[in-house]
Every structure is written in C-alpha cells, then in structure tokens.
Chains A and B, each alone.
Chain A
Amino acid sequence: MERIPTRMGDGSLVRMTRDEIEAEIRAGTEAGAKRAKVEPLRDDEVAHLVDIFASPARFSAVDIGGEVILTSDGVGSQDAGSRVNDLQTYEQTVCTDTVELYHHDYSFKPIKPVLPFEQETMRQAQFLLTIPCAYGAMPDLGRYTAPDGPVPNWSQLLPLGKIDEARAAQEEAVEYAVEDIVYVAEGMYEAGADGVNLDTAGAAGDADFLAALKAVERIRAKYPDWGIQIGMASEFVLGMHGELEYDGVRLAGLWPAAQMKLAAKAGVSIFGPAVNVNTGKTVAWNVARTCTVVKPCTEAATVPVHLNGGMGVGGVPMHAVPPVDAVSRASRACVDLLKLDGL
C-alpha cells in the first residue's frame, strides 16, 4: 500500500498508509473527547480529515469562497527596516487581512513606560495602512512578581505550602495587570489603533485569565465599537489560584467553549482558543484532537472565533519554520470542520 508523506507534531516527515493515517485521526479525536469531556468527531468528519491528510500534495486549501479572516499575535520579524515597514510588507506583499503592531517585549507591563513611543509608531502606521492595525501584548501576570515586580512570587510560595499567601499575591497582581492593560489600550485607542489584542491570556493560570476578562470589560465599556481580541495561552485554564471566578463561573479548568462564553460576556470582538500540540503524535492526530476540543466552542459562539494556529498550537507543528504542507492541512481542516470565522 502507498506510503503517504505526513508530519509529526515536531515537524519531522514520516510516511504512513491511508489506514494508518485514519487510525491516527480516530485516536486523536478519542483523546480529545476523553480529555475535554466532549463528543468525538462524526464518521463523515473523520473521513474528511482522512481525505485531507492522505493527499501527497504540497499544499491544501479550503474551497474558493470559503476563505476566513487572519489575525495575528504581532507581524514582522523586526529585523529588517522599521516596524512600520513590517506592517506594510504584511499588508502589501503577504496580503494579510489585518496586521498587529507589537513591542518586542510582548507584555503590557513593560510597554507602559514606553507607551508614548508606541503611540507615535501606531500613529505613523495608521497614516500608511489601509487594513486594520491592532496593538497586541500579553497580560503576563508573572511580570508582577518579586524580585522584579511588586507582589510576592506565588511560584515560590506554593511549594512552601503558603496557599493563602500565594492566592493573595495573585489577586493583587490581577489588579496591577488590569490597570496596565487598560492604560495601554486607552493610549492605543487615542493613537488611532483599530483594536487591542490580549494575547496568550491565561498563561499564568486562572488569575491571568481573570485579569484579561476584567480589562476587556473596562475597555469595552469605554469603547463600544472598538476591536478587542483575546487569544488564549492553552487549551484549558490552569488553576494556579483555584478559586477565582468571573460572572459566577470558576475559571480553573475551563475548556474553550466555556472560555469563549466568558470572553464574549466581558466584551471581546474576537475570541481565539488555543489547543496545544503533542510533538510525539502526528499532525493528523493533533488536528483531530484540536477539532474535537474546539467544536463545542464554535458551535456555541456568539462572537467570531479565530483559532490559534501557529508553532505548537492548533495542530501546527512545534517548529520555528513549520512546513507549509502541515500548516495548510491543519488550517484547512480546522476551517472546514469547525466553521471558523478566522485564524
């Protein structure tokens, strides 16, 4: 039987038969269903994934007319020309639908002292660009811990059994982070940005996600028609605190559908779920698992959903230069099965 070139989650090339690829996809959807406590993919959905991954073509794509919107967590390498040149290149050569200006220290806290410089760059970009240009950074709650930040380090307190102190430190950090995110967002609105992206939300756990939600709530209240995006850090919210709630819902352990509902309630324009890649499994396995975990999210969505698809998330291999055959298959498969609004 023909052995078809396909990829592992680390990007390496392997060859499998069609039956082996189907077995990977069935195992992936079963793993996702078991982990997230959701339904596995239907047989017709599995068959569609098999068709996509059993093709030896270099590239795979959605049908004409089925294209979706692309948003980003920062565009450009910042290694050639200026940051505004990066944005122009993505607009005029890559032809992305949106671009995102970013500072290379991609967190709201370090941006605060350089905000006037960032505002001037955004202002110049807005003169020169036609497509929407957002500003992005991470809530990055760990930035607020000792020795560099103002609150005790909960990662040091927890191993000592100082649970109450660790929780109090996280709660204090949330308030600092919310102020910084709102401050930067307000500055970017004044400079002409088309929106703000709170990327990698939840990276430090439930308190990190809470900071993002509380910040979005305040930004939305002030700017009813502005673009606000949350992109998640991982597939479920880690319970570093364990007892934090938003709108009466405990944040620890939430999966994409529940995350989306709270993000929409807070006021996001666009929600970006993230599903982590297992590098020891095939891309086919990872894509099947991703689709299984995210399907309840897109089915229930009241706002656009842009699945995070990049190095190590959304089925895309964990590699600095992910192969286009794998990226295109993962993207197409997720758009087709999940009815995504974007990537």
Chain B
Amino acid sequence: MGGLRTAGDLVARMQMTRRMRLPEAKAYVAEKLRVAPEDLSDPVAMADARRGLGLGAIPTEDTATVEDALAIEAKVNIARVLDVPVRSVERLGALTRSRRG
C-alpha cells in the first residue's frame, strides 16, 4: 500500500491489533486522520496528513525536518491517534518512568 509514503503502516496496525479486514481498517484510519479512505494510498495527501499529526515520515532531508516526529517518537503519536497498543511505546513508557519511591 506504500508504507511510510502513504498510510500502509497505519492500516496494517489495525489488521494486526484489531483483526480488522481491509475495508474496515481503511475506514477506521481515515476517520482518525480526518481524510477520505481513497487518500490513504496517496503519498501527496498523506505527507501533509502524517506531518500534521506527527505520524512519521521517511527520514531524509527532503521528507522530514528536525521538527517532525520519527520512528519511536512517531509511534507514540500513532498509538494515541489510532487508539491502539504499540508494544515498543508501552516499553518506552515503562522504562522511562521515574523509579524514585
């Protein structure tokens, strides 16, 4: 579907975590991103949508700046925007929590 260029990774997360079939997964992601389902595989439309919500981009100087969330930073936002568990984000939270009594 295009992965980071589009919304392929986001739709994949709905299949993996919620066992949604494709039409349902696309509709869910589109609603959360406030775009039309047909925009999800459009790299031009999705570049702006992903950047606006901090959902990650291809990490080159042409496609991202230091202002953009990438990798684990972006996954924190993906978990919140899609309302799905992302295991590495859960680990990040658990391991960076204050350990002082």
Stretch at the interface among A41-49, A89-97, A286-294: A89-97
Is A6 among interface residues, defined by CB-CB distance under 8 A?
no
Cα-based distance from A134 to B84 in the complex (angstroms): 16
Q: How many residues of A contact B (CB 8 A)?
A: 41
Partner of B16, one of A70, A129, A195, A339: A195
A130, B9: Cβ atoms under 8 Å? Answer: yes
B4, A341: Cβ atoms under 8 Å? Answer: no
Cα-based distance from A46 to B6 in the complex (angstroms): 32
B15, A65: Cβ atoms under 8 Å? Answer: no
- Shortest distance in angstroms between B11's beta carbon and chain A's nearest beta carbon? 6
Stretch at the interface among A164-172, A186-194, A322-330: A186-194
Among A67-95, those with CB < 8 Å from B are 67-71, 91-92, 94-95
Cα-based distance from A269 to B20 in the complex (angstroms): 8
Cα-based distance from A229 to B12 in the complex (angstroms): 12
Known contacts A130-B70, A130-B74; A69/B19 CB under 8 A: no
- Shortest distance in angstroms between A40's beta carbon and chain B's nearest beta carbon? 25
B22, A131: Cβ atoms under 8 Å? Answer: no
Is B86 among interface residues, defined by CB-CB distance under 8 A?
yes
Q: Which residues of A lie under 8 Å from residue B12 when comparing CB positions? A: 69, 71, 97-98, 131-132, 342
Chain A residue nearest in CB terms to B59: A92
- Of B15, B37, B84, the most chain A CB neighbours within 10 A belong to B15
Chain B residue nearest in CB terms to A97: B8
Chain B residue nearest in CB terms to A133: B88
Is A128 among interface residues, defined by CB-CB distance under 8 A?
yes
Mask, A308-329, CB within 8 Å of B = 1, is 0000000000000000000000
Cα-based distance from A270 to B15 in the complex (angstroms): 7
- Of B13, B38, B86, B88, the most chain A CB neighbours within 10 A belong to B88
- Shortest distance in angstroms between A320's beta carbon and chain B's nearest beta carbon? 24
Known contacts A130-B74, A226-B17, A304-B15; A95/B22 CB under 8 A: no
Nearest first, the 10 A-B pairs at minimum CB distance are A227-B16, A97-B8, A130-B56, A192-B88, A131-B9, A126-B88, A341-B22, A95-B3, A67-B1, A65-B38
- Can you list 15 A-B pairs, Cβ within 8 angstroms, ordered by A? A65-B37, A69-B25, A70-B1, A70-B8, A92-B4, A97-B2, A97-B9, A98-B9, A126-B72, A126-B91, A130-B75, A192-B88, A194-B13, A195-B16, A339-B22
**A interface with B by C-beta (< 8 Å):** 64-65, 67-71, 91-92, 94-98, 126-132, 134, 189, 192-195, 225-227, 229, 268-270, 301, 303-304, 339-342
